[in-house]
């Protein structure tokens, strides 16, 4: 039961502040209500707020959520809030008034300020952050730019993202490097098992290990720091695939002890689609050749990774609005809400006969992403049942021992939507 009902929450809101009143003259109702709600959040702990449907209902109004389906595949890509969408449109319109002027002389001037804001979120120096288009670009920049010779070894996990697997396989084919595969049985809450699988794969010839922070297939969080520490002890470089972790839950990139960390800002930061970020530890920048050539490819300057040619500056600049949006929510509150939502639906289906859950409910090992299947039925059957009967959009997974329907709510998801999911899974399991 929600301990803080609509009334109690509204009572705590009190009267609108003077600034709220002034804002009301110019801002739409949804943003005034959200602002009032956010203004009063100091009355609640992040745990309390996680269960407050009124607050998150206002949050939903900040997005343009489809009225005709329930989107529970936020693991694929997240929608952007209205403020981000509007910024993209505004900057695009401006660009078209005189592209070369507005793109290069106006919008691109915002890049250094944006870099500094991303670095503040990541907890590192701005000189360690390059902006690009997605995780794939960041990961492949490192995978293809890292100096390796025939016979050198890298450690890669079979449950890593498909682009990572293919990139390393391509490098092995071309350059004769060797891949030592880790094969994880997931989900797991056994830290020593997870760490030891990597350690077992290290040899004196290992130069680099790739670690996925959140396994996208079932939402498993890996103990990156522990694995990275073992790698560093052996002089092995660490590349982290942070596609699903940045702005999803609270950590700072340097806490991971990684040399390279790539993420997609259009996932959990809610930036426009086509926005990514690559972190490279300062002293490791010089050794990575950029994917797109630079004048001095071996210099220790992070901006050498940004020679992408003409690109959508209106997308890049709108990242700033996504950062603002996240600052408004606060990462701890977001994390707690996402964990709450995942456990909300999982708790309600876990005892239903034939239902199998493949994600941990412990916050240490999972956050928003959860996986479900029904014994005797295929994931595709469950996915299509949920969509045809309930208009619930999910995705099916079948990859290296992980199979099921992946369910990923977001900050705009309400528990009443998840009640429908629970109803759908239960009906399917009994059918």
* Polymer length in residues for the chain: 431
Nearer to ligand PLP, 338 or 374 (CB): 338
Q: Report the nearest approach of ligand PLP to the CB of residue 276 (Å).
A: 6
Q: Report the nearest approach of ligand PLP to the CB of residue 216 (Å).
A: 3
Nearer to ligand PLP, 94 or 143 (CB): 143
Cβ–Cβ under 8 Å, residues 411 and 56: yes
Nearer to ligand PLP, 219 or 290 (CB): 219
Q: How many C-beta neighbours within 10 Å does residue 323 have? A: 20
- Which residue bears the tokens 């943003």? 31
Q: Report the nearest approach of ligand PLP to the CB of residue 340 (Å).
A: 22
Q: Report the nearest approach of ligand PLP to the CB of residue 366 (Å).
A: 14
Q: Which of 187, 189, 179, 185 is nearest to 209 (CA)?
A: 179
Cβ–Cβ under 8 Å, residues 385 and 424: yes
232: preceding bond cis by omega (within 30 degrees)? no
**Residue 208: strand pairing partners:** 154, 237
**Alpha carbons within 13 A on the beta-carbon side of 430:** 9
Cβ neighbours of residue 110 closer than 8 Å, sequence gap 6 or more = 317, 320
Secondary structure (DSSP) of 104-124: IIIGGGGHHHHHHHHHHHHTS
Q: Is residue 405 helix, strand or coil?
A: strand
In the complex, which residues of this chain contact ligand PLP (CB under 6 A)? 134-136, 161, 163, 212, 216, 241, 243-244, 264
Q: Report the nearest approach of ligand PLP to the CB of residue 161 (Å).
A: 3
Q: Report the nearest approach of ligand PLP to the CB of residue 211 (Å).
A: 11
**Alpha carbons within 13 A on the beta-carbon side of 406:** 22
Nearer to ligand PLP, 244 or 348 (CB): 244
Q: Is 80 exposed, middle or buried (0-12, 13-18, 19+ CB in 10 A)?
A: buried
Nearer to ligand PLP, 239 or 392 (CB): 239
Q: Report the nearest approach of ligand PLP to the CB of residue 249 (Å).
A: 15
Nearer to ligand PLP, 241 or 317 (CB): 241
Query: What 8-state DSSP symbol labels residue 271?
Result: P
Q: Report the nearest approach of ligand PLP to the CB of residue 244 (Å).
A: 5
Q: Is residue 136 helix, strand or coil?
A: helix
Q: Report the nearest approach of ligand PLP to the CB of residue 162 (Å).
A: 8
Q: Report the nearest approach of ligand PLP to the CB of residue 74 (Å).
A: 11
Dihedral sign computed on CA atoms, order 58, 59, 60, 61: positive
Cβ neighbours of residue 270 closer than 8 Å, sequence gap 6 or more = 78, 79, 80, 81, 84, 247, 322, 325, 326
Nearer to ligand PLP, 213 or 348 (CB): 213
Q: Report the nearest approach of ligand PLP to the CB of residue 144 (Å).
A: 15
Nearer to ligand PLP, 57 or 261 (CB): 261
Element (H, E) at 374: strand 370-374
Nearer to ligand PLP, 166 or 205 (CB): 166
Cβ–Cβ under 8 Å, residues 175 and 150: yes
Element (H, E) at 327: helix 313-329
Nearer to ligand PLP, 165 or 386 (CB): 165
Helix 313-329 to helix 82-97 angle (10° resolution) is 160
**Residue 71: strand pairing partners:** 393
Nearer to ligand PLP, 54 or 241 (CB): 241
């Amino acid at each position: 039961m929600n301990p803080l009902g609509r009334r109690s929450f509204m009572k705590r809101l009190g009267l609108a502040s003077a600034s709220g009143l002034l804002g009301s003259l110019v801002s739409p109702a949804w943003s005034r209500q959200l602002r009032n709600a956010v203004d009063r959040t100091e009355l609640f702990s992040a745990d309390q707020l996680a269960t407050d449907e009124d607050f998150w209902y206002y949050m939903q109004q900040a997005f343009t959520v489809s009225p005709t389906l329930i989107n529970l595949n936020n693991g694929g890509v997240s929608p952007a809030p209205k403020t981000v969408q509007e910024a993209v449109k505004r900057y695009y319109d401006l660009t078209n008034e005189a592209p070369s002027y507005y793109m290069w002389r106006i919008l691109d001037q915002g890049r250094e300020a944006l870099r500094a804001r991303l670095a503040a979120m990541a907890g590192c120096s701005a000189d360690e952050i390059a902006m690009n288009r997605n995780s794939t670009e960041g990961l492949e920049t490192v995978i293809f730019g890292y100096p390796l010779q025939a016979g050198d070894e890298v450690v890669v996990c079979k449950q890593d993202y498909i682009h990572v697997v293919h990139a390393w396989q391509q490098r092995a084919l071309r350059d004769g490097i060797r891949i030592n595969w880790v094969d994880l049985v997931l989900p797991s809450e056994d830290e020593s098992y997870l760490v030891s699988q990597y350690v077992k794969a290290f040899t004196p010839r290992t130069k680099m290990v790739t670690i996925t922070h959140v396994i996208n297939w079932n939402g498993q969080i890996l103990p990156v720091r522990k694995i990275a520490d073992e790698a560093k002890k052996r002089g092995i470089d660490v590349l982290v695939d942070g596609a699903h972790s940045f702005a999803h839950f609270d950590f700072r990139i340097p806490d991971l002890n990684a040399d390279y960390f790539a993420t997609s800002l259009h996932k959990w930061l809610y930036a426009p689609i086509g926005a990514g970020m690559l972190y490279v530890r300062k002293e490791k920048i010089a050794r990575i050749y950029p994917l797109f050539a630079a004048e001095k490819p071996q210099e220790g300057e992070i901006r050498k990774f940004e020679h992408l040619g003409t690109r959508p500056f209106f997308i890049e600049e709108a990242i700033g609005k996504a950062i603002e949006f996240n600052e408004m929510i606060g990462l701890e509150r977001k994390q707690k809400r996402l964990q709450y939502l995942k456990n909300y639906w999982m708790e309600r289906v876990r005892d239903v006969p034939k239902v199998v859950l493949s994600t941990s409910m412990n916050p240490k090992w999972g956050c928003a992403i959860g996986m479900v299947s029904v014994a005797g039925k295929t994931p595709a059957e469950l996915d299509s049942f949920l969509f045809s009967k309930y208009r619930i959009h999910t995705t099916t997974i079948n990859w290296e021992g992980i199979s099921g329907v992946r369910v990923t709510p977001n900050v705009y998801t309400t528990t009443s939507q998840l009640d429908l999911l629970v109803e759908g899974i239960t009906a399917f399991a009994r059918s």
